Amino acid sequence: MTDNKVRDNSGASRRVAKGIGTTVLARMGALVEIVAQPLYVLMFGLTGFGLYAVLWSAINLVENVCDLGMTSAMQRTVPRSANDEDAAAALRAAMLLGVGPCIIAAGIIAFLSPALAPLINVAASDADKVAAAIGFFIWALPLWAFVEIATSALRARMLFGAEIRLRIVWEQLMRLGFAILFFALDFGLMGLFIAHICSLTITALLSLRLLARHYRLDLLFAGPFWTKNARDTALAGLSILPSNIVARLFSDAPALVVNQLLPGAEGAAAGGLFTIARKLSSVIQLVHIAFAYVLAPLAASSERRDRNEVKEIYAYAVRLIFVVAVPLASVLAAGSGPLLSLFGSGADIAQAAVVILLFARAAEAVLGISLPVLQVVADFRHQLTASLAGLLVAVAAGIWLADRAPALMAVTFAAAAGLVTASTIPMAQLWRVEALHPYTPEFPRIAGVALGAAILGAALAIIASRLPGALAIPAVLAVAIATIWLSARCALPRADRLSLGKTARTLRLVAR
C-alpha cells in the first residue's frame, strides 16, 4: 500500500492520534503518583505505606465489582445515542447502578471495620490504627466510583482530554499536597488516608461540573428510568464486568495476597513493595490505557459506518503501541535499579518483580488493545473467555510457585502470566470470530526495527544505570526517551508519522 493510499484513508488514524495525545496527558497523573510514592514512603515508612497500599488495593477491587461494569458500559452506548435524552438515560443508569452499590458496600464495611482489621497484616506499631483506617478510608469507595463513571461518561462523548485537570492537578498533586500538610501537622499515618479522601472529594466535585457542560443533567430526573438505552447500558456493563474484575485482580489482588502470605510488618512491607513495582510498570500500562480509552468509543462509532474503519484504527493502534511500549519496557527494565533507589534501600528487593511486570505490561499493551475493540464489535459472550482463562492461569501459576519461589516473586509471576493470557485471547477471538486482525504486510518490518531499538536502548540503559548516584536516573530516562524516538522514527511508516500532526514535526519524526 502506498503512502498516498494510506493518507487518503487516514481520517480514523488521525482521530486516534488526537485522542491518544490528550488522553496520555490526562493519564500523566500516574507518573505524578510514581514521583509521589517515594515521598509517601519517606514520610510514613514502608510498612505504613504498605498498609495504605493494601487498603487502597482492596477498595479498588470492591469498586470494580460493585460498579457493575458501569465505568465501561457508556463507551458502548453513549456514542450510539441518538439524542441528549438517550445519553442522559445511559448516564443515569450508570450512576445509579454503579455508585449506589458502592455506597451500600461502604456502609457495611465501615460497620464491620473492627472485625476486618485483624485480617490485615501490619507492623505492631500500626495495629491499633487499622480499624479506624478501614472505617474512614472505605468512604473513598463511592467517591472513586463516581469519579470513574463521570470521567468515563466524558470519554464516551469523545472528550479524551477532559481528565487532564482532574487527574493531574487535583487527584494526584492535591493528594500529595494534603499528605505533606497533614504530615507536617503530625497527623501520623491517618494523614495519608485523610489526604486521599480530600483529593477524591475535590475531584468528584470538579468532574460533576464537567459533566454539566457535556450532558443535559436536568434530563437525569426527567422521563422514565428504564429506557432502552438504560437497559443497553446495564447489559453492556454486566457483560464487561467479568473482564473488568479480572483486570483489576491482576493489578490489585497481588498486594492483598502477599500481605496475607507474610506475617506482621513483613506482610505490610511486601504489600508496599508490590505496589511500588506495579506503579513503576504502570508507565507501560499508561500507553495501553490511553489507547484503550480512545479505541472503545471510536470503534463503537465506526462500527455503525464501516467495519473497515475499525480494522484501520485497530492496526494503527497496534503499530504505535509496539514501537513505544516494547522499547520503553526494555529500557526501564535494564535501568530499574536506580529507579528503585528512590524508594529507599529496602526497595531493591522488588527489582525482579519490576522487570517481570514491565514486560507483562508491554505484552498487555500490544495484545490487549484488542479487548476494547472486542467489547464494542463482538457479542457479549465472547468477552468472558479471556477473563476466565487468565484467572485460571494466574491461580495455577500461583499454586505451582507457592513452595518454589519467594512470596513476592510467586505472586508477581502468577499475576503476569494471567495478565498475558487474558490479553492474548481477545486478539485471537477477533481474528477468528470477527475476521479482524491488526497485522498488515509491513508489520514484521516495524516489529523488527522496534525490537532492534529496544535491544540497543537496554544496553545503553545498563551502562547508564552504573553512573554514580544522582546521574543514573536522568541518564536512564534520557535513554528511554531517545530509544522511543529512534523506534518511532525508523519503524513507523511515513503515513503513520504524518498522522501525528504537529507532534511529529516538532519531534522531527518527519521532515518539517
**Cβ-based neighbour number of residue 491 at 10 Å:** 26
| Full DSSP string of 184-232 | HTT-TTHHHHHHHHHHHHHHHHHHHHHHHHHS-GGGGGSS-SS-HHHHH
**pLDDT tens-place string over residues 80-134:** 666 888 888 888 888 999 999 999 999 999 999 999 999 999 988 888 899 999 9
Position with higher pLDDT, 486 vs 25: 486
Flag whether 389 is in a domain: yes
pLDDT band (50, 70, 90) for residue 291: low
**Cβ-based neighbour number of residue 95 at 10 Å:** 18
User: Using CA atoms, how far apart are residues 247 and 226, in angstroms rounded to an integer?
Assistant: 29
**pLDDT tens-place string over residues 206-227:** 889 888 888 888 888 877 777 7
User: Using CA atoms, how far apart are residues 251 and 427, in angstroms rounded to an integer?
Assistant: 21
Flag whether 112 is in a domain: yes
Q: What is the pLDDT of residue 4?
A: 43
Q: What percentage of the chain carries pLDDT values higher than 90?
A: 39
Flag whether 343 is in a domain: yes
| Full DSSP string of 316-371 | HHHHHHHHHHHHHHHHHHHTHHHHHGGG-GGGGGGHHHHHHHHHHHHHHHHHTTHH
| Full DSSP string of 460-495 | HHHHHHTS-GGGHHHHHHHHHHHHHHHHHHHHS-HH
Predicted model pTM: 0.79
∠134-280-506 over CA atoms, to 5°? Answer: 130
**pLDDT tens-place string over residues 304-315:** 555 576 777 788
Q: Give exposure, 305-339, as e/b (b: 16+ Cβ within 10 Å).
A: eeeebbbbbbbbbbbbbbbbbbbbbbbbbbbbbbb
pLDDT for 335 beyond 90: yes
User: Using CA atoms, how far apart are residues 153 and 73, in angstroms rounded to an integer?
Assistant: 9
Give the residue-averaged pLDDT of 11-36.
59
Flag whether 388 is in a domain: yes
Flag whether 326 is in a domain: yes
Provide the grid cell at 411: 505472586
Quick check: 176 and 169 in contact, CB under 8 A? no
Give the residue-averaged pLDDT of 473-497.
92
- Domain range spanning residue 244? 3-506
Flag whether 178 is in a domain: yes
pLDDT for 2 beyond 50: no
Count of domains in the chain? 1
Position with higher pLDDT, 243 vs 257: 257
The single-letter code of the amino acid at 77 is T
pLDDT for 164 beyond 70: no
Q: What is the pLDDT of residue 61?
A: 94
Closest CA to 57 of 310, 258, 219: 258
**pLDDT tens-place string over residues 393-435:** 999 999 999 888 888 999 999 999 998 998 888 888 888 877 7
Flag whether 181 is in a domain: yes
Flag whether 185 is in a domain: yes
